[in-house]
Structure 1
Amino acid sequence: MNLTMAGAVLVALAVSGVVLTRRRYVVVTVVGVSMLPTLAEGDRVLVRRSALARVRTGDLVVSRPPAGERWATLPTWLIKRAVAVPGDPLPGHVALAVPEGPGARVPPGRVVLLGDNPAESLDSRFCGYFREHQIVGIVVRRLTRGD
């Protein structure tokens, strides 16, 4: 293999690595105050694209907002904390927003997401379960702190 061919192979490998990384990770900027004090407006977080099956209670999760005209003013993605995953008991303060009611368990393909700042968070207390197809990924770490 000559030097030009080796360079081309290295460039192709580097480009492939970047493409694969961008498919696996995304950087999200926090909009709003629903996650205070954990995350503030303007914070940037690294998110690993993941399915609901990888979400654990306590994880910070990025999801698409609920569908419908009522939620049209929300950002493209929301950041909330997973407080109950499929099979977990339904938290009492969410029971009014879902059909199953108190004492139920979170059904398959659903997750309960809440903001850390309940007074300022549109979350499962108002819109019920988030569905599997809404999950974008799990926050890996904060990259920068907003001002």
Structure 2
Amino acid sequence: MIWLPLAATAVAAAWLEWLRRRHLVVAVRGPSMAPTYHHGDRVLVRRRSGRRLRTGQVAVVDLPERLRPMPDGVSLEESLRNRRVIKRVAAVPGDRVPFPIEGPGPVVPSGCLVLLGDNPDGSGDSRQYGYVPVDAVVGVVVRPLRTRS
């Protein structure tokens, strides 16, 4: 009879490991996604390739170092905290380049995305750093986990 609790524990551990590999929880920092998400909100993210994103989805992206905003006086630690961003996918490869993004041609090139924050006045996004590689995508937001009080 002792095997039943052990089996249940093993199944629960396997399920949690599967869940952890496919999903992650990300805390929203800053005002860039308001009014959709606010500073302090937590969102459930399904790990997904950037090649499977669609326009309108909200993605979590690890910005390559060359794209990260690095104002004077910012420490390396702060720069690393600015690595992961949450932005809405405004255009995928083959879509027309949306205004006000400037690109070398009329369509988004293969392997690139245009990402925009929902709060244009409080967002660092493709308007500042241009195209983002699809390989930088960590996943897509599935739903919020906690709402503001």
Partner of 1:80: 87
Alpha-carbon distance in 2 for matches of 1:10, 1:47: 27
Alpha-carbon distance in 1 for matches of 2:101, 2:64: 16
- The answer to whether the aligner puts 1:24 opposite 2:15 as a matched pair is no
**CA deviation string 1:109-142 (max 9, x = no partner):** 2111000111111111111111122101100011
Partner of 1:91: 98
- Most deviating of 135-144 and 86-95: 86-95
Q: Which amino acid aligns with 2:27?
A: T
* TM-score of the aligned structures, taking structure 2 as reference length: 0.85
Partner of 1:47: 45
Report 1:57-72 matches (<5 A).
57-68=55-66, 70-71=69-70, 72=79
* TM-score of the aligned structures, taking structure 1 as reference length: 0.86
Q: Percent identity?
A: 42
Per the TM alignment, residue 53 of structure 1 is displaced from its structure 2 partner at its CA by 2.2
Contact 2:42/2:146 (8 A) holds in 1: yes
Partner of 1:118: 120
> Which of 104, 121, 131 is residue 133 of structure 2 equivalent to?
131
Contact 1:65/1:74 (8 A) holds in 2: no
Alpha-carbon distance in 2 for matches of 1:120, 1:49: 26
Q: Which amino acid aligns with 2:85?
A: L
Per the TM alignment, residue 70 of structure 1 is displaced from its structure 2 partner at its CA by 4.4
Alpha-carbon distance in 1 for matches of 2:90, 2:48: 17
Per the TM alignment, residue 74 of structure 1 is displaced from its structure 2 partner at its CA by 5.0
- The runs of 4+ residues in structure 1 deviating greater than 2 Å are 3-10, 68-76
Contact 1:42/1:145 (8 A) holds in 2: no
Partner of 1:143: 145
Per the TM alignment, residue 81 of structure 1 is displaced from its structure 2 partner at its CA by 0.3
Contact 1:58/1:81 (8 A) holds in 2: yes
Alpha-carbon distance in 1 for matches of 2:3, 2:122: 57
Contact 2:65/2:83 (8 A) holds in 1: no
Question: Alignment length, in residue pairs?
Answer: 140
What is the Cα-based RMSD across aligned positions, in Å? 1.8
Per the TM alignment, residue 107 of structure 1 is displaced from its structure 2 partner at its CA by 1.7
Structure 2: give runs of 5+ residues left out of the alignment. 71-78
Structure 1: give runs of 5+ residues left out of the alignment. none
